[in-house]
Amino acid sequence: MLDISPRFVEGNEPLYLQLYRYFCTEIQGRRLVSGTRLPSVRALSGFLQVSKTTVESAYHQLLAEGYIESRERSGFYVVDMDWDGPMPSGKGQQLVEMACVQTTAPTPSPVPIQYDFHQARVDPDHFPFDRWRKYTNQCMQEENKHVLYYGDRQGEPQLREELARYLGRARGVQATPEQIVIGAGTQVMISLLGFLFGTRGQAVAMEEPGYHGVRAVFSHLGYDVRPIRLAEDGIDLEALGESGAKLVYITPSHQDPSGIVMPYAKRLKLLQWAKQAGSYIMEDDYDGEFRYHGKPIPSLQGLDTQGRVIYLGTFSKALLPSIRMSYMVLPHALLAIYQEKLADFDQSASRIHQETLALFMKNGDWERHIRKMRTLYRKKHGALLHSLQEQLGGYIQIKGQDAGLSVTVEVKSASTSQQLTQIAAASGIRVYPTAHKWIHPQDNGRVAFQFGFGGQTIEEIEAGIRLLKCAWEPYL
């Protein structure tokens, strides 16, 4: 018989810590040897009559301290302790064996993800499927055979006309259709700019932390990426000047991932720097349509009188990511260079999607959709902030609120962001740390995550944060 009852512990110490210490003792005493597979969370929680969260917390503490390892689609195993003697018989081994026979499942399956807080997910239930289908069908009528061929290398003229009008009204961007270039995603746009400026020995400044997807493109093209620290109001202009870079990529209307909105006065100083240094600014306005208090911040490009700003935007956040469509507005001086150097580059975005989107914009559906989604996301944004404060308020600091589709949350914990991510996943929650957005991570005693709210209902947001509190609380 197993020398341990389902209520195997005494005292006031939390159950998960008592279970954790029990396994520590068994592993250290070689009664659970290297390679021993532990029972599934469900099997052990059922055998001991404790919650699955208790077992998960114990396992993840063992995982964090290196006693066990997680093998994909297989479960948890005792790590190699350099022990090659015979397997001793002990309480730990009995617990493993008896708990394992409590379930008919031969192999524990990974916990399915119920709540996904990805920062770029959009609401799938409010996409205007009928209107989009209508315009696509209209494009695909037999009399429109031209859409079956290659289109304009800069993008469909009708879409560029609609986009120029919209950007002027909504974002204050100064653009003619001739200045606009359409492409399949922001990384494609950045690649084109990389080729335009030349890839040999060029230095480009980027916010630190900043968007890793763009950084990867510049690195692959051979650019010298120079990280520029952030001040409270955005990129540090003194450090930018000292960097010697003639190109800078920034997200001034909602800095990724900090959420800082660059104020008007600093925007003017940044433009002055570009004029004096003869530099170009790549302004990525990736989610500028969504601001929840006050009006959307006008673009930096709209303040530019010297032709030093390249404006970048995308339809991924406001419409749908799968359309893979972004755009840039080139200053006239760069447009001439683009047409000379990159005239042989074919259009990368679907012509059919471009024609569909042009009709969607021409008939007013785009701006109606933006207004509807802004109202919806404002409610979700408020629900996320309320849930975070209510459930985790004493352990977190929220940044980057009031705009975009995500907020950044700094967490007070001795665990690493990777460990907290794994702990959340074990409870069916997917969270996204920001560590990879730094070139030189700073150790300030906190780990940070971006919490997106676009792709979940308000009820899912609230339930997900409640469950996350249960999973993380032992580690905060």
* pLDDT exceeds cutoff 70 at 468: yes
Cα separation, 26 vs 5, in Å, equals: 16
* pLDDT exceeds cutoff 80 at 8: no
pLDDT of residue 106: 43
pLDDT of residue 289: 84
pLDDT of residue 403: 81
What tens digit of pLDDT does each residue of 212-225 get?
999 999 999 999 99
pLDDT of residue 82: 53
CB atoms within 10 A of CB 84: 8
Q: What are the residues whose beta carbons fall under 8 Å from the beta carbon of 139, sequence distance 6 or more?
A: 147, 352, 355, 356, 359
Q: How many helices (H) and strands (E) does the chain have?
A: 15, 16
Least confident of 152-166, 221-235, 334-348, 431-445: 431-445
- 270, 300 in Cβ contact below 8 A? yes
| Burial (0-12, 13-18, 19+ Cβ within 10 Å), 292 | middle
**Which has more confidence, 336 or 61?**
336
The whole-chain average pLDDT of the chain stands at: 87
* pLDDT exceeds cutoff 90 at 76: no
DSSP H helical ranges for 300-416: 332-341, 351-362, 365-392
Half-sphere exposure of 94 (CA within 13 A, CB side): 9
Domains 15-100 and 128-363 share a fold: no
Provide the 8-state DSSP code for 390: H
- 467, 115 in Cβ contact below 8 A? yes
Please give the CATH number for the structural domain made up of 128-363: 3.40.640.10
Cα separation, 290 vs 297, in Å, equals: 9
| Mean per-residue pLDDT, 351-367 | 96
pLDDT of residue 81: 58
| Mean per-residue pLDDT, 31-60 | 83
Q: Sorting pLDDT into bands at 50, 70 and 90, what band is 5?
A: very low
* pLDDT exceeds cutoff 60 at 6: no
What is 15-100's CATH topology? Arc Repressor Mutant, subunit A (1.10.10)
What tens digit of pLDDT does each residue of 90-118 get?
555 555 555 555 444 444 446 789 999 99
What is 115-123+369-475's CATH topology? Aspartate Aminotransferase, domain 1 (3.90.1150)
Q: What are the residues whose beta carbons fall under 8 Å from the beta carbon of 47, sequence distance 6 or more?
A: 6, 39, 98, 99, 102
Kind and range of the H or E element at 216? helix 212-220
Q: Sorting pLDDT into bands at 50, 70 and 90, what band is 297?
A: confident
Domain segments of the chain as ranges: 15-100, 115-123+369-475, 128-363
Residue 447: strand, helix, or coil: strand
Dihedral over Cα of 242, 244, 249, 253: its sign: positive
Least confident of 22-36, 143-157, 236-250: 22-36
* pLDDT exceeds cutoff 50 at 459: yes
Any bridge partners for residue 283, and if so which? Answer: 250, 311
Q: Sorting pLDDT into bands at 50, 70 and 90, what band is 7?
A: very low
pLDDT of residue 69: 85
Exposure string of 136-166, with b = 16+ CB inside 10 Å and e = fewer, is beebeeeeeeebeeebebbbbebbbbbbbeb
Residue 81: strand, helix, or coil: coil
What tens digit of pLDDT does each residue of 188-215 get?
999 999 999 987 779 999 999 999 999 9
What tens digit of pLDDT does each residue of 257-269 get?
998 889 899 999 9
Cα separation, 343 vs 352, in Å, equals: 21
Cα–Cα nearest to 419, from 23, 65, 54: 65
